[in-house]
Amino acid sequence: MKAVILVGGLGTRLRPLTCNTPKPMIPLVNQPFIEMMLLRLRDQGIDEVILAVQYLADHFRAILGDGSRLGLKLHTVEEPEPRGTAGAVKNVEDLLDSTTFVFNGDVMTDLDLQAMLAFHREKGSALTISLTPVDDPTQFGLVETDSSDQIKRFLEKPRVEDITTNMINAGTYIIEPEVFKYVPPAQHYMFERGLFPVLLQTGDPMFGYPSRAYWTDIGKPQTYLDVHHDILIGKVHYTFRGQQIADRVWLEDGAEIHPSAQIVGPVVLGRGVVIERNARIIGPTVIGARCTIGSDVRIEGSVLWEDNQIAEGTLLHSCVLGNGNHIGERNHITDGAIIGDQCSIGAENRLERGIRLWPKTVLNDKAISF
Ligand code: GTP
């Protein structure tokens, strides 16, 4: 069975994390998200995947190669310019010969793909969209279906009085390749504003597959932290790599942990992490490979990518650090702050309330201070 994964978007909402790393490549629990997704697809019967790449395309080829390391056949196809979600699939149409899964490359879900495929076939659908319920329907595009699950209407961010459903497009599709005859070639064309409304008009059977499977879009800073939280507390099925060294503390390899350091799970420590005297790491937290956590540092509810150095007495709380940052002494980095890659931050700064530092930012001591 074949699948197309859309991985060419700019990931603007996650900037600065996506300045150097395309969104589907950002680490989730120290593993590129797309790698975890490919393994999930392989385990559910998909053996050939076409990655529709565009932004930072070389990263995909360099890290995933031909897919053999992950046990599937991978084609990486680059668009000459961003073609949009439906345009990107149109661009690889020649590689599609029968019913195909299409995935947004930024959705964490444990959806049962074989059950969705059985639904698609049973309904005789030309295009099936996975649907998931949300708590606040005013913030999303809603998908209205009839009692047989056929899609009747799309409502974009409706007013409260117009809400008839809480089901949204969950970013997994099953498509019969014939529907791509409606997609203009070599143009930017979207599913939501292009192909879906066209199929409503033509009357081709389009169904919504409702599911209560775990679902989160990793593409916003808060949801990126939420997914880590959900994985670490066991809300979604996940096989941790490395060795479990204490209650809900996993170590990926070769760390140096000072005996006075305190680690309260759920915590994942990457390869070669160093944790110094009296440091406290409180879960849910993930620390990437080769990070050094200085003495008396406290880290809670945060995600650190690789090669970060955190100096003595700093507090990291509910924040994300990209790769290779140097964080000086006694900083407070909290409340959804995001630090890009290779930033250099002096001592005693206070970075909070969603502040975002672009890669290679340099901050002196007390530049944003107490
Ligand atoms: P934002 O800029 O934060 O909205 O993120 P995004 O660019 O990734 O857009 P969005 O989250 O809406 O995209 C959904 C999925 O489609 C993601 O997996 C994107 O990588 C992918 N995608 C969006 N636009 C394109 C495109 O033009 N080409 C390809 N190949 N994929 C795309």
Percent of the chain past pLDDT 90, that is, above it, reads 91
Q: Facing residues of 107 across strands?
A: 217
Ligand 1 within 6 A of CB of 172: no
pLDDT (tens digit, 9 = 90+) per residue, 121-139? 999 999 999 999 998 888 8
pLDDT (tens digit, 9 = 90+) per residue, 2-44? 999 999 999 999 999 999 999 999 999 999 999 999 999 999 9
- In angstroms, what is the span from residue 15 Cα to ligand 1's centroid? 13
Report the DSSP pairing between strands 151-156 and 141-145.
antiparallel
Mean pLDDT on 242-267: 94
Q: Residue 335 pLDDT > 60, yes or no?
A: yes
Ligand 1 within 6 A of CB of 346: no
Q: Cα 101 to the chain's mean position, in Å?
A: 18
353 or 309, higher pLDDT: 309
Q: Residue 157 pLDDT > 80, yes or no?
A: no
- In angstroms, what is the span from residue 88 Cα to ligand 1's centroid? 10
Work out the pLDDT band at 370, boundaries 50, 70, 90. Answer: low
Q: What atom of ligand 1 comes closest to residue 83's alpha carbon?
A: 27
Query: 331: closest CA among 305, 358, 357, 360?
Result: 357
- In angstroms, what is the span from residue 85 Cα to ligand 1's centroid? 7
Q: Residue 220 pLDDT > 90, yes or no?
A: yes
- Residues 290 and 302: their CA atoms lie apart, in Å, by 16
Q: Which domains does the chain have, with CATH numbers?
A: 2-215 (3.90.550.10), 243-363 (2.160.10.10)
- Contact between 104 and 6 (Cβ < 8 Å): yes
Report which secondary-structure segment, H or E, holds 36: helix 33-43
Report pLDDT for 369: 72
344 or 140, higher pLDDT: 344
Ligand 1 within 6 A of CB of 25: no
- Residues 272 and 167: their CA atoms lie apart, in Å, by 44
Residue-averaged pLDDT of the chain: 95
Peptide bond between residue 284 and the one before it cis (omega within 30 degrees of 0): yes
Work out the pLDDT band at 163, boundaries 50, 70, 90. Answer: confident
Report pLDDT for 251: 95
Query: 327: closest CA among 313, 317, 335?
Result: 313
- Residues 286 and 263: their CA atoms lie apart, in Å, by 11
Q: Residue 90 pLDDT > 80, yes or no?
A: yes
